[in-house]
Structure 1
Amino acid sequence: MTKKIAVINDLSGFGRCSLTAAISVIAAMGVQPCPLPTAVLSAQTGYPSYFCDDYTDKMEYFRQEWEKMGAAFDGIYTGFVASEQQIENIFCFLATFRKKKTFLLVDPVMGDNGKVYAMFTDRLLSLMRELVYKADAVTPNLTELCLLTDTDYRMIQSLTDEKHLLTVIEQMARNVIKKGPQAVVVTGIHFLDEKDGIQKMGNLAVTGKQASLSAFPYVGGSYSGTGDLFASIIAAGIARGDKITDSIQLAGDFIERAIVDSVKENIPRNDGVNYEQFLGMLTK
C-alpha cells in the first residue's frame, strides 16, 4: 500500500518552493503527498510583489473533513509557519492524526544567514520550539539551529577550523535531541575541507550516538526552495524506510545537480532551482 504524508505548508505559484517542491519530490519517491495549505500565494515572498491568501482559518476545515473520511497518515511534515495560530492548528492536527507509528518531521523555517524572518516573535519562536520537541526528525539550517539552542550565530561564524565547527554543531544538535527528536539534520553548513582545500556545503545528520556528514563542493548560488526540496526527500525517505544517511546523500546529489544547472542557466534566485529534470534520481 502506498505510504501517505500530510504536508502542511504554503503553496506558491512561482518560486519552486514549499508545497510545489514537496508534492513533486514526495510523489517521485513513490509516496503520496496530501497537502494542507497554510496560505496560497501568487509567488513566494522573495519576489517584489505577490498576492497572498491566508489559509489559517481554513486549516481546521481540512482537519475536520479528513477526520470524517477516516484518513490516516504514515507521516506528517510541516514547513513554513506564518503565525502563532497556525502552530496551534498544527497541534490540533497532530492530536487527531498522529498515531503511534506516524512520524513527524518539522522543517523549522525561521531564518537564514544569521537573520530571523521579520514575523518571528518571541512567542512564535517558543511555539516552534514546542513543535520541534514533538518531532521525530528536524531539518534546521544553521541559523535555525542557533535559534532553537539560544546560540549566538556570530560565534558559529567565527569558527574557521572544520573539525571544531562540526563538533560544535553536533553538540548543538544533541542539545535539541535531548528535548525529544530522534534525529536532527543540520543543512547548509559552509566549510573549507582541510583534506582537499575545497569550499564545501555539508549536511550533518545527528542520531543517537552517531553523526554523519554528507558534503559536496560549493558551486555558488543561493536559491529559493532548496531547503524544502531537502526536507521533502528526508520525509519521503523515512516513509519508504530508507536510512536517513542514504536520504541525506540522495538529497545532496539531487540538489547539487539542480544548483549546478541553475547557475549555468543564470536562473534568478527567486525562481528556485531547475530540479524537475532530475526527479528520476529519486525513484527506487
Structure 2
Amino acid sequence: MCAKPPSKPRPGVLFADCFSGGDGEGKIFFLFSPVSLLRTLPIGNHTGYKQWKGTRVSAEEISDLWEGLKQSYLDGFDMMLSGYIPGAAAVEAVGRIAAELKAKAGAAGAPGGFFWVLDPVMGDNGNLYVAQDVVPAYRALLGHADLILPNQFEAEVLSGVGIEDAASLERAVGALHAGGSLSSSGVPHVIITSVSLPHLGHPDRSMWVVGSTRTSAGRPRLFKIVFPAIDCYFSGTGDMFAALMVARMREAVHQADAAADSTAAAAGATTARLGDRASWVSDDSVDALDLPLARAAEKVLATMHEVLSKTLEGMDAEMARVRERLAAEGAAASEEERARDLRLHQSRAAELRLVRNLESLRNPRVAALRAEKM
C-alpha cells in the first residue's frame, strides 16, 4: 500500500539560508514554530572570522534537498524565509520552491496559506558582494515574495532609486511595491533596514527602519522606527532581524484576526480574516501605524536592542579577560600570533547572545521603540 500525505500538514517554516555555529539565528525559530533548515552555505562559522571551512550549495543540490523533503511529505510549510543564497542559479532554485509552495496553497483554496519573507542579501555600504547576475535574479522574484527585507543599499539596487532623503526613500518603496519594469508585479510588504538619513528631532547616533504595506492602489503606507545605534560590530544582526520578522509577522496577523473576530462577534456579525488573504495585506482603511507589519517590526527591534546591549556587556567583559591573558603571555607568542588570537576572540565575543537572553526574545519591552509616521 502506498503512503499518503497527511491531510493537514503541520504549519511550519522553511529556512533557506546560510547556517553556522555559535548561538545561531536558526534557533530563534524553534521558540515559535516547527522548522526545516535548507542550508545554502553550510560552514562551521560565519565569515566575520576571516577563516572558515565549508562549501557553497549548488542550485541542483538545493533542488535535490527540496525533493527529499517532498518525497517524505515534509513540505507542509506556511512560511518561508530565504537569506543568503550563493549565485543566480541558486536564487532561481529557491524562487521555484517558494512559487511551488504558493501555488500549492492557492490550489487548496487558501491564498493566505503561504507567506514568503525574502531577505535579498547582496551587499552593503555601496558595494555588492555577490556576482552581478544575482541582481536581476532577485529582481525577477519581487513579484512572488510577500515581504522583502533589503538594507538601504539593496533597496537602491532593487528599486533603481538612489536614497538620499525622505522623498527618494518613499519613491524607492513605491517602486518596490509597483514592480513595473523590475518584475511582473511588486512586493506587498517592504521593510528597509539600517537607513542612514538625518532624523529631525532624534539624536545623531540613531538609525531608521522604514516599512510599508501597499494599498489596493499600490501606494505605500509608510512608517519608520528610529532606534539608538550601538557603536560596535555584531555578527548576524541581519539574520536575526529576518528570523524574528517571520515569527512576529505571523503573530501580528493572528492578533489582528483575533481582535477583528472579537469585535464582529460582539456585533453579531462575521468578518474576513486577514490571515486568509493573499500576502496578508490589510484593508486600505488600516493606518500605517496600525499595520501588522509595524506591530511586528516594533517587537523585533525591541528584542534586538535588548540582545545587542546585553551582548555588548558580555563582549566587553570577555575581551578584558582575553587582553589580560595575552598580556601575560608576553614573548610566548609573536605579535602576529597575538593579533590573530585577538581578532578571533573578538569575533567570538561578538556572536549574538540569543540563547542566554530568551526572555528578550519572548517578551521584549516595546514601549521605547514605537512606529512613527514618515
Relative to the length of structure 1, the TM-score reads 0.85
Partners of 1:278 and 1:191 lie apart in 2 by: 31
Correspondence for 1:214: 225
2:20 pairs with 1:12: yes
Say if 2:125 is the partner of 1:46: no
Unaligned runs of 5+ in 2: 1-8, 107-112, 180-185, 215-219, 254-291, 320-345, 364-374
The CA distance in 2 between the partners of 1:221 and 1:88, in whole Å, is: 35
Q: Check if 1:64 corresponds to 2:67.
A: yes
For 1:129-168, list aligned pairs within 5 A: 129-152=139-162, 156=163, 159=164, 165-168=165-168
**Structure 2 CA distance for aligned equivalents of residues 131 and 114 of structure 1:** 22
SS of 1:54 mapped into structure 2: coil
Name the CA shift for 1:141/1:247 in 2 (closer, same or farther; >3 Å): same
Whole-angstrom distance in 1 between the partners of 2:202 and 2:153: 27
Change (3 A) 1:195 1:88: closer
Aligned positions of 1:198-209 closer than 5 A: 198-208=204-214, 209=220
CA distance in 1, matches of 2:136, 2:195: 24
The letter of the residue matching 2:351 is G
Aligned partners of 2:202, 2:76: CA distance in 1, in Å?
Answer: 48
Stretch moving more, 89-98 or 65-74? 89-98
Match of 2:248 in 1: 237
Question: Residue 26 of structure 1 aligns with which residue?
Answer: 29
> What is the Cα deviation at residue 68 of structure 1?
1.7
Deviation at 1:192, TM superposition (A): 4.2
Read off the aligned partner of 2:361 and give its amino acid letter: L
Matched, 1:85 2:89: yes
TM superposition shift of 1:252: 0.9
Distance apart, 1:196 and its partner CA:
4.3
Contact 1:250 1:282 survives alignment (8 Å): no
In structure 2, the CA distance between the partners of 1:132 and 1:221, relative to structure 1 (3 Å rule), is farther
Aligned partner of 2:296: which letter? S
Q: Which amino acid aligns with 2:356?
A: Q
- 1:235/1:80 CA distance change after superposition, 3 Å: same
Displacement of 1:35 in angstroms is 0.8
Q: Distance in 1 between matches of 2:239 and 2:231?
A: 18
What's the offset of the Cα at 1:53?
2.2
Structure number with the higher strand fraction is 1
8 Å CA contact 2:118–2:145 kept in 1: the answer is yes
Displacement, 1:47?
A: 1.9
Q: Work out whether residues 220 and 263 of structure 1, in 8 Å CA contact, stay in contact via their aligned partners in 2.
A: no
- Cα contact 1:254–1:278 (8 A) shared by 2: no
Residues 1:188 and 2:191 are matched in the alignment: no
Which protein has the larger Cα radius of gyration, Structure 1 or Structure 2? 2
Closer/same/farther in 2, CA of residues 76 and 257 from structure 1, 3 Å limit: same
The verdict on how the C-alpha distance between 1:262 and 1:168 changes in structure 2, with shifts beyond 3 A counting, is: same
Alpha carbons of 1:94 and 1:196: their partners in 2 closer, same or farther (altered >3 Å)? Answer: closer
Q: Distance in 2 between matches of 1:104 and 1:185?
A: 14
1:182/1:244 CA distance change after superposition, 3 Å: same
Cα distance in 2 for residues equivalent to 1:199 and 1:193: 10
Q: Secondary structure at the match of 1:240?
A: helix
The Cα of 1:213 is off from its aligned counterpart by 0.9
Show the counterpart of 1:162.
none
**Cα offset, 1:80, TM superposition:** 0.3
Q: Does 1:256 align with 2:335?
A: no
Secondary structure at 2:47 match in 1: coil
2:120 paired with 1:108: yes
Q: Secondary structure at the match of 2:142?
A: helix
Q: Unpaired runs of 5+ in structure 1?
A: 160-164
User: How many residue pairs align between the two structures?
Assistant: 266
TM-score of the two chains, using structure 2 as the length reference: 0.66
Aligned in 2, Cα 1:125/1:269: closer, same or farther, shift over 3 Å? same
Q: CA 1:220–1:27 in 2, change beyond 3 Å: closer, same or farther?
A: same
Q: Which position in structure 1 is the counterpart of 2:361?
A: 282
Shift of residue 174, structure 1, vs aligned partner: 1.4
2:236 corresponding residue in structure 1: 225
Q: CA deviation at 1:226?
A: 0.5
